[in-house]
Structure 1
Amino acid sequence: MLELKNITKRFGDRTIIKDLNLTVRDGEILSIVGPSGAGKTTLLRCITGLERVDGGQFLVDGQNFEPYTNRANESVIGVVFQNFELFPNLTVLQNITLAPTLVLKQSAETAKQQALELLTRLDLADHANQYPFELSGGQQQRVAIARALAMKPNVLCYDEPTSALDPNLRQEVEKLIMGLKADGMTQIIVTHDLTFAENIADEMFRVEPNQD
């Protein structure tokens, strides 16, 4: 279980998030929604350790956890970026195996075997030796998900997972996310797409612009 207690985030004199409390239960899907500029992506960046919070506390399974400074953060909280952020000079397989070998210290053979298993599961086995530019947007997204899953995170986060895709792929994204839920993966999804959010979420959390 992931808990956020009294989280506050400021940029200069502007308070984006103020005293926010949130609980994400194991195996559930939380959708974070709200208008543009309300702080959805900032909140996700705080959860994933890309931004340092100015106040508050994170707990994972009741234990204090600091995403920003935790060296093994990717093995606790994974993230799938809106634009996928794949390394263009690496093949699909290399994109997935890089972090497990460098951060988790897996052997190259173990990392490759696990990557191939993930690619098979995500219907990408035939694309292991291709480069990101050779893939469709939907395929790139699945590679990004495989790369995050390769780090064996407790929680997987997504920033606007449907925004960079053709609208008719939304149902495929829903099926993928629900498949991961069936496997017990805890997921947090930032989205502006309310219908998508309602279809997948166990809980909805609406972020409102702070008035301070």
Structure 2
Amino acid sequence: MLEVKNLVKRFGNRTIIDDLSVQVKDQEILSVVGPSGAGKTTLLRCITGLEKVDSGEFYWDNQKFDPTDSNPKNMIIGVVFQDYQLFPNLTVLDNITLAPRLVKKESLDELEKSASELLARLGLEGKEDLYPYQLSGGQKQRVAIVRALAMNPKVLCYDEPTSALDPELRDEVAKIIIDLKQQGMTQLVVTHDMDFAEKIADNILRVEQLK
């Protein structure tokens, strides 16, 4: 279980998150919803270690961890960014295996085999040698998910996963997230799309802009 306790985040004199505590149980999906400026993405950036918090603690299975720990071997959280952040000069396979290659002691053959299996699970079989510009928005989204999964995170976080997708692709992403839950993945989804949130989530955290 992922636990965030008494999280406080400020930018200058402005408090964005004030004493927030939240839990995400194993194999559950938590959707974080709220208006623009309410701190949804800031919360995600704190949990993923992209922002340092002013105060608060993070626990995985009752063990305290530091999300800003730069050692990938200690990684608890994986993240799928809103703009995917794929390297345009690398193939799909190289995008997925780059970080594991730098961290894991597995052979490149083993990493590529694992990446190909993940791609097949998400309907991207045969796309290994394509470059990001050759992919649709939905395919880029799935490659970004595979890249995050390749590091074997305990929790997978998404920042607005449907913001650039049409309704059909939105349903496709929902299916992927639900399928990953059934395979044992704990997930946190930041979204402005309440219908999407209600479709996928076991629990919904509503955040409001602080006055």
* Pair in the same fold by TM > 0.5: yes
Paired AA for residue 42 in structure 1: T
Distance 1:118 1:194 in 2: 29
Amino acid at match of 1:94: D
Is residue 73–residue 103 contact of structure 2 (8 Å, CA) maintained in 1? Answer: no
Query: Compared with structure 1, are the counterparts of its residues 186 and 68 closer, same or farther at alpha carbon in structure 2 (3 Å cutoff)?
Result: same
Structure 1 vs Structure 2: percent identity of aligned residues? 64
Find the counterpart in structure 1 of residue 123 from structure 2. Answer: 123
Per-residue deviation at 1:105?
A: 3.4
- Please state how far the C-alpha of 1:106 moved relative to its aligned partner: 2.8
> 2:75 corresponds to which residue?
75
Cα 1:17–1:24 change in 2 (3 A) is: same
- What residue in structure 2 maps to residue 5 of structure 1? 5
Aligned equivalent of 2:101: 101
Q: Which stretch of structure 1 is more off in the superposition, 66-75 or 122-131?
A: 66-75
The 3-state SS of whatever aligns with 1:205 is strand
SS at match of 1:101: helix
What stretches of structure 2 of length at least 5 have no aligned partner?
A: none
The TM-score normalised by the length of structure 1 is 0.97
Q: Which residue number in structure 1 is paired with residue 189 of structure 2? A: 189
- The unaligned stretches of length 5 or more in structure 1 are none
**What are the superposed Cα offsets for residues 12-31 of structure 1, whole Å, 9 maximum, x if unpaired?**
11110010000000000000
Question: Are residue 56 (structure 1) and residue 49 (structure 2) matched?
Answer: no
CA distance in 2, matches of 1:3, 1:117: 31
After superposition, the CA RMSD in angstroms is 1.1
Quote how far apart the aligned CAs of 1:58 are. Answer: 0.4
Which residue of structure 1 aligns with residue 42 of structure 2? 42
Name the amino acid aligned to 1:14.
Answer: R
**Deviations 1:87-141, CA, capped at 9 Å, x for gaps:** 0000000000001111233321111110010011111111100000000000000
Pairs aligned (count): 211
SS at match of 2:152: coil
| TM-score normalised to structure 2 length | 0.97
**Quick one: which amino acid aligns to residue 168 of structure 2?**
N
